[in-house]
Amino acid sequence: MPAEATLALGLIESRHLDALLAQGRPSLDVCARILGWPAGMPRGEAVIGRIHLGSEFCETLIPAAPQLRHARDLCEREGLGLAVAASTLSDHGISALSPLLDLLPTGAELVVNDWGSARLARRERPDLGLSAGRLLCKMIKDPRLPSEEWGRLYPHGINSGSFAAVLEHLGIGRIEMDAPPFARPADFRAGSLRVGVHAGAGFSVKGRACRTGSLGQAPEDKFTSGQSCRRECLAYVDSLVRPAAGSDELHAFQRGNTLFYAHSPAMIAAVGEAVDEGWVDRLILMGDWNENRRSH
């Protein structure tokens, strides 16, 4: 296990966070039982050290102030670190994020997925830690890939000098990554950057149109941006299956505007080896009880 395990809860009802922390800082075994993790996910007596709250994929799901206060107070009581995860934000989203920064204690983190959010935090709350989110770690992550050669054509570029210069300018020393299909331990080496890897599932692609939210729309309004949001994505998950899927194809599912894929045992093993090598110091566990309670 890495030095720290983080539970990424997305935007959830407060009662679920209360249940997780009812007996203090939860172990991985407790998280596995409450969140219904599938076989192969990490388990053990190691405790969670940090909570990530918020959506990386939709600015409509920025935490409300009462929810953030509740999470902050629980984390302070249990000695847990706290981070707010933000998606790629429009001007409207930046305006919604700005007042939330005042609610975060010194030393809390903000996971940013655009440069505007990073500049906002550096200007208004320089005492917060900044992490570059996985939307800023570009790579090929298609669950339909038939072999590793396809992914090797376009590896991530987080070791490039230009990218490192932007992160350094913004005071970002940590990046979050997904495990790509056919992952190898060396994929998680990032030079001087500290690396957190999302475990259990990764994202392949996101857009502005919400597939689930389109179900109740008139035909001419389906699959467009700017829909009124009823947060259908918190209750429904679309399982995606291709009739001609190959044996190496990963289980895929869609939540809202984002396509995800479940990790294979080989991918989980590659992440574990990267942890053992010291290239990964944070494991970010997907606390999405809706998807994880469904059979794959």
For residue 42, name the pLDDT band (cuts at 50, 70, 90): low
Residue 54 pLDDT: 87
pLDDT at 111: 96
Choose the most confident range, by mean pLDDT, from 23-37, 203-217, 223-237, 257-271: 257-271
The answer on pLDDT for 268 being more than 90 is no
Q: Note the pLDDT of residue 38.
A: 62
pLDDT at 252 over 60: yes
What's the CATH superfamily of 4-201+263-292?
Aldolase class I (3.20.20.70)
Pick the more confident residue, 144 or 229. 144
pLDDT of 110 strictly over 50:
yes
Q: Provide CB contacts within 8 A for 56, sequence distance 6+.
A: 85, 86, 87, 111, 113, 133, 134, 135, 203
Range among 70-74, 109-113, 264-268 rated most confident: 109-113
So what's the pLDDT on residue 16? 64
- Please give the average per-residue pLDDT across 54-58, as a whole number: 88
Q: What is the mean pLDDT of residues 211-231?
A: 72
Question: Is residue 108's pLDDT more than 80?
Answer: yes
Q: Is the pLDDT of residue 226 over 80?
A: no
Q: Given a cut of 90, is residue 243 above it in pLDDT?
A: no
Provide the pLDDT confidence category of residue 292 given band limits of 50, 70 and 90. very low
CB 274 within 8 A of CB 215: no
Q: Which pLDDT score, from 0 to 100, does residue 296 have?
A: 34
Q: What confidence score (pLDDT) does residue 236 get?
A: 74
CA 262, CA 292: separation in Å to the nearest integer? 10
Per the model's pLDDT, the better-predicted residue between 131 and 54 turns out to be 131
CA–CA gap between residue 80 and residue 204 (Å, rounded): 30
| Average pLDDT in the chain | 82
More confident residue, 222 or 262: 262
- The answer, yes or no, to whether residue 225 has pLDDT greater than 80, is no
Boundaries of every domain in the chain: 4-201+263-292
The predicted-structure confidence for 154-196, as pLDDT tens digits, reads as follows 778 888 889 999 999 999 999 999 999 999 999 999 888 999 9
pLDDT > 90: percent of the chain? 33
